[in-house]
């Protein structure tokens, strides 16, 4: 409804009131309705008219069906906008390519917040509209200018409990101690978590971890190389190195750790101690085909605790909205990376550090592990 | 004369859509990559300079060439033996050879890589068996290293090595072999001094195809190398998608394409394209 039609509606109402067809009180009520309804109707003819579809790009696998079940279908029901899931992996380079093409086909991306900081500075992302997305429905410190956290996962130690018996590792020092815990290890191929693990093992206190002392971390990693059987590049690979016994201890995503525990019949266990908490976030591409407002509304709708609970059940994602914690049944709290009991044992990755240093650090890391 | 000309015209017309497709789908976008290599992050030759000084890029290039060379030698030798059986064996032998060549063709590269992990890992079939018969006490490191990469790539590339060899062996005139035997040459001597030299073009073609293919391998080294045997394609991926450092990634791609181009030019000096199929 445009301003003109609104004016006409009120004019006709006042004419009716003048003729005594409706009472004065009815007139004010109806006029208020017309005025209140207008902004919403305006939006529906504006942004919504062009946005009948949003494309959300995530990391694929089970995430495609889970995102659809938790967020996509409900959003379509509420707004009439279909949400298509694309599992092709929104790496920083891929998002950058979408933006530079000048005609992005993606709307929302499940992005690493540090990539969002870099991409936002390049102008590739829309700033998050915190009038639509509620900052209070996020854990403090996990909403950024260009990305809003929607879940958490963690890099944690998983280990072969049969091999180590009652002696469970208690932190990164044990991970790097092959005398006390003999056997092969597996680390992440793309560096994230390996630097922190090496420094924690080398005796740096969690509070003074950042900025990372890369030289020291790389020395530690280089000296440890012969104990590493494989550097895994994806979740499935991290599961298989533990399940087929190639590694006796590995730093893996918490979302996979509970699956590994299940698949091994409890033989492979995991700990939260010195786990490295990492937020997952949604960001909106600049000039996205579905419209900025629709995308922001989608992010706001994904803050719903019930929906985040579905993601926890399906993928083990720690909820971004603290209100979800209370909905998680007691026996499942153990596998929630941001459950208060688990969270206090862990350390959050510093996204600003990663935004500035990741590229160069990864080069150096790759050089060392593949030398 | 008339029909010869119209044949050529017809062939050109039939080829045109393919050529157009190749230009649109490969050559045109690749010009964009060339542009990036000179313009990102700042215009100039900086990225090519970096190629000469960056020790990660250099070590990966050298590793890629070394692995490609080893894979080429092993694949061509194995393919040679298989092809002899395929082309000159009894009908039953030919059937077995065909089976060995074609079945791997139909299985995805990913499945084959994971298959090798299952065979070669610490608790894989081979290590378990060797330990069971008491041949070794500790599992051998057969995978998640360069050895695993070479095994996986060789397995993938043998069928590609077979076709140029088969083409060369089929076009060989049997009477030459009979003449050699008739003049008193032993079977082995006939093979090494007559048969092998006369299939030289097949060997060169086969080696070139395998070598060029090896340079671009991505999935197999990523899975079987365990992060320790990064090859050039994975390094490009890292630069473009993980770092993301498009300028250097593009420069590496351009150098790789030029390198392959030179190799192909050399190949076609010695071998006619039709001999490769």
Residue B5 has pLDDT above 70, yes or no: no
Q: How confident is the model at residue B267 (pLDDT cuts 50, 70, 90)?
A: confident
Do the Cβ atoms of A369 and B228 come within 8 Å? yes
Residue A10 has pLDDT above 70, yes or no: no
Do the Cβ atoms of B243 and A362 come within 8 Å? yes
> What CATH number does the domain containing B91 carry?
1.10.3720.10
Contacting B with CB below 8 Å, chain A residues are: 91-94, 96, 184, 189-190, 229-233, 237, 240, 244-246, 358-359, 362-363, 366-367, 369-371
Whether a cis peptide bond, with omega within 30° of 0, leads into B153 is: no
Q: What is the ipTM of this complex?
A: 0.81
Q: What is the pLDDT of residue B48?
A: 92
Instruction: From chain A, pick out residues whose CB is under 8 angstroms from the CB of B243.
Output: 92-93, 358-359, 362-363
Q: Report the percent of chain A where pLDDT is more than 70.
A: 86
Report the residue of B139, B244, B247, B249 to disrupt the A interface, i.e. the one with the largest count of A CBs within 10 Å.
B244
| Digit-coded pLDDT (tens) for A247-262 | 999 999 999 999 999 9
Do residues A201 and A224 touch, judged by C-beta distance below 8 A? no
Q: How confident is the model at residue A47 (pLDDT cuts 50, 70, 90)?
A: very low
Residue A52 has pLDDT above 60, yes or no: yes
Joined together, the tokens standing for residue B168 give 């060369």
Please tell me which residue of chain A has the smallest CA distance to B225. Answer: A230
Domains in chain A: ranges and CATH: 53-152+279-348 (3.40.190.10), 155-276+350-370 (3.40.190.10)
- Measure B155 CA to nearest chain A CA, in Å: 21
Of chain B residues 78-137, which have a CB less than 8 A from chain A? 117-118, 121-124
Joined together, the tokens standing for residue B73 give 């030698």
CA distance A370 to A368: 6
Residue B25 lies in a domain: no
Report CA dihedral (A106, A109, A115, A119) to the nearest 10 degrees. 40
Do residues B271 and B205 touch, judged by C-beta distance below 8 A? yes
Residue A11 has pLDDT above 70, yes or no: no
Residue B33 lies in a domain: no
Instruction: Give the closest residue to A351 by CA, choosing from A146, A125, A165.
Output: A146
| Digit-coded pLDDT (tens) for A94-115 | 999 899 888 899 999 999 999 9
Residue pointed to by tokens 């004369």: B1
User: By residue range, what is the domain housing residue B213?
Assistant: 46-275
The mean pLDDT value for B130-150 works out to: 90
CA distance A131 to A291: 16
CA distance A114 to B272: 52
Distance of CA A147 to the CA centre of its chain: 9
Q: Are strands A347-348 and A268-285 parallel, antiparallel or unpaired?
A: parallel
Report the residue of A96, A119, A246 to disrupt the B interface, i.e. the one with the largest count of B CBs within 10 Å.
A246
Do residues A89 and A60 touch, judged by C-beta distance below 8 A? yes
Half-sphere exposure of B251 (CA within 13 A, CB side): 22
Q: What is the pLDDT of residue B84?
A: 95
Q: Is B32 touching A (CB cutoff 8 A)?
A: no
Tell me how many domains chain B contains: 1
Q: What is the pLDDT of residue B9?
A: 78
Please tell me which residue of chain A has the smallest CA distance to B219. Answer: A233
Q: What are phi and psi of B121, to 5 degrees?
A: -70, 170
Handedness of CA B135, A242, A112, A50 (dihedral sign): positive
Coil, strand or helix at A14: helix
Q: What is the pLDDT of residue A44?
A: 42
Distance of CA A86 to the CA centre of its chain: 15
Do the Cβ atoms of B122 and A244 come within 8 Å? yes
β-pair partners for A283: A109
Residue A4 has pLDDT above 90, yes or no: no
Residue A341 has pLDDT above 50, yes or no: yes
Q: How many C-beta atoms surround the C-beta of residue B193 within 10 A? A: 13
Residue B21 lies in a domain: no
Q: What are phi and psi of A160, to 5 degrees?
A: -85, 105
Q: What is the pLDDT of residue B2?
A: 54
Coil, strand or helix at A177: coil
Residue B145 lies in a domain: yes
Instruction: From chain B, pick out residues whose CB is under 8 angstroms from the CB of A93.
Output: 240-244, 246
Do residues A36 and A23 touch, judged by C-beta distance below 8 A? no
CB pairs under 8 A between A and B: 74
CA distance B209 to B213: 6
- Measure B216 CA to nearest chain A CA, in Å: 18
Distance of CA A345 to the CA centre of its chain: 20
Joined together, the tokens standing for residue A194 give 């390996």
Residue B11 lies in a domain: no
Question: Of A47 and B73, which is predicted with more confidence?
Answer: B73
Residue B24 lies in a domain: no
Out of B56, B223, B241, closest to residue A93 by CB: B241
Alpha-carbon distances, residue A47 vs A77, A127, A169, A297 (angstroms)? 17, 17, 54, 11
Q: Is B222 touching A (CB cutoff 8 A)?
A: yes
Joined together, the tokens standing for residue A232 give 């895994």
Q: Is B242 touching A (CB cutoff 8 A)?
A: yes
The mean pLDDT value for A220-249 works out to: 92
Do the Cβ atoms of A359 and B229 come within 8 Å? no
Question: Of A35 and A26, which is predicted with more confidence?
Answer: A26
Do residues A280 and A317 touch, judged by C-beta distance below 8 A? yes
Q: How confident is the model at residue A13 (pLDDT cuts 50, 70, 90)?
A: low
Which range is least confidently modeled, A168-172, A197-201, B197-201?
B197-201
Report the residue of A112, A189, A238 to disrupt the B interface, i.e. the one with the largest count of B CBs within 10 Å.
A189
Which range is least confidently modeled, A129-138, A270-279, B54-63?
B54-63
Whether a cis peptide bond, with omega within 30° of 0, leads into A267 is: no
Q: 3-state DSSP helix/strand/coil percent for chain A, to nearest 5?
A: 50, 20, 30
Q: How confident is the model at residue A40 (pLDDT cuts 50, 70, 90)?
A: very low
Which residues, in sequence order, are CB contacts of B3 under 8 Å at separation 6+?
none
Handedness of CA B106, B111, B112, B113 (dihedral sign): positive
Residue B204 lies in a domain: yes
Element (H, E) at A231: strand A228-232
Q: Report the percent of chain B where pLDDT is more than 70.
A: 96
Residue B29 lies in a domain: no
CA distance B162 to B165: 5
| Digit-coded pLDDT (tens) for A140-170 | 989 999 999 999 999 999 999 999 988 999 9
Do the Cβ atoms of A229 and B246 come within 8 Å? no
Element (H, E) at A111: strand A108-111
Do the Cβ atoms of A232 and B241 come within 8 Å? no
CA distance A275 to A172: 9
Residue pointed to by tokens 């990469």: B149
CA distance B160 to B157: 5
Residue B193 is classified by DSSP as I
Residue A19 has pLDDT above 60, yes or no: no
Joined together, the tokens standing for residue B276 give 């490769």
């Amino acid at each position: 409804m445009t301003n003109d039609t609104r004016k006409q509606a009120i004019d006709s109402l006042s004419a009716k009131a003048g003729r005594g067809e409706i009472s004065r009180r009815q007139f004010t009520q109806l006029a208020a309705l017309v005025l209140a309804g207008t902004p919403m109707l305006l939006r529906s003819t504006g942004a919504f008219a062009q946005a009948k579809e949003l494309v959300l790009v995530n990391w694929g696998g089970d995430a495609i069906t889970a995102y659809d079940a938790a967020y996509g279908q409900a959003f379509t029901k509420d707004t009439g906008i279909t949400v298509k899931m694309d599992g092709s992996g929104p790496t920083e380079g891929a998002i950058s390519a979408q933006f530079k093409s000048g005609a992005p086909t993606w709307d929302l991306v499940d992005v690493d917040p540090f990539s969002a900081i870099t991409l936002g500075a390049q102008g590739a992302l829309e700033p998050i509209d915190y009038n639509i997305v509620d900052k209070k429905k996020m854990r403090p410190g996990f909403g950024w200018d260009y990305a809003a956290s929607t879940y958490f996962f963690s890099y944690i130690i998983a280990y072969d409990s049969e091999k180590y018996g009652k002696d469970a590792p208690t932190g990164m020092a044990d991970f790097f101690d092959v005398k006390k815990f003999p056997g092969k290890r597996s680390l992440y191929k793309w560096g994230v978590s390996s630097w922190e693990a090496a420094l924690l093992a080398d005796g740096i206190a969690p509070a003074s971890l950042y900025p990372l002392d890369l030289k020291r971390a790389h020395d530690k990693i280089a000296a440890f190389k012969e104990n590493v059987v494989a550097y895994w590049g994806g979740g499935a690979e991290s599961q298989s190195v533990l399940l087929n016994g190639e590694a006796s201890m590995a730093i893996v995503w918490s979302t996979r750790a509970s699956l590994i525990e299940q698949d091994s019949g409890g033989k492979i266990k995991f700990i939260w101690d010195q786990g490295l908490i990492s937020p997952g976030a949604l960001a909106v591409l600049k000039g996205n085909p579905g419209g900025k407002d629709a995308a922001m509304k989608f992010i706001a709708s994904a803050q719903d605790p019930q929906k985040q609970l579905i993601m926890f059940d399906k993928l083990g994602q720690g909820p971004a909205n603290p209100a979800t914690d209370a909905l998680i049944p007691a026996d499942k709290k153990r596998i929630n990376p941001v459950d208060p009991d688990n969270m206090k044992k862990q350390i959050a990755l510093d996204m600003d550090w990663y935004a500035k240093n990741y590229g160069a650090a990864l080069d150096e890391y790759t050089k060392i592990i593949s030398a | 004369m008339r029909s010869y000309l119209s044949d050529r015209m017809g062939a050109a017309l039939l080829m045109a859509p393919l050529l157009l497709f190749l230009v649109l789908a490969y050559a045109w976008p690749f010009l964009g990559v060339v542009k990036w290599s000179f313009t990102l992050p700042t215009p100039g030759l900086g990225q090519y300079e970096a190629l000469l000084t960056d020790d990660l890029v250099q070590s990966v290039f050298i590793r890629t060439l070394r692995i490609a060379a080893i894979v080429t030698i092993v694949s061509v030798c194995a393919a040679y033996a298989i092809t002899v059986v395929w082309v000159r064996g009894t009908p039953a032998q030919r059937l077995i050879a065909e089976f060995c060549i074609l079945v791997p063709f139909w299985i995805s590269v990913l499945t084959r890589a994971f298959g090798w992990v299952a065979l070669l890992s610490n608790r894989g079939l081979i290590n378990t068996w060797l330990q069971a018969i008491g041949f070794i006490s500790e599992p051998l490191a057969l995978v998640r290293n360069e050895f695993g990469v070479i095994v996986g790539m060789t397995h993938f590339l043998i069928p590609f090595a077979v076709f140029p060899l088969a083409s060369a062996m089929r076009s060989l005139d049997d009477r030459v072999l009979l003449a050699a035997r008739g003049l008193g040459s032993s079977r082995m001597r006939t093979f090494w001094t007559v048969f092998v030299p006369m299939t030289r073009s097949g060997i060169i073609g086969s080696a070139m195809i395998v070598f060029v293919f090896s340079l671009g391998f991505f999935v197999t080294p990523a899975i079987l190398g365990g992060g320790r045997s990064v090859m050039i394609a994975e390094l490009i991926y890292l630069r473009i998608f993980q770092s993301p450092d498009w300028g250097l990634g593009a420069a590496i791609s351009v150098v790789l394409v030029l390198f392959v181009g030179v190799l192909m030019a050399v190949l076609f000096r010695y071998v006619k394209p039709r001999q490769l199929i």
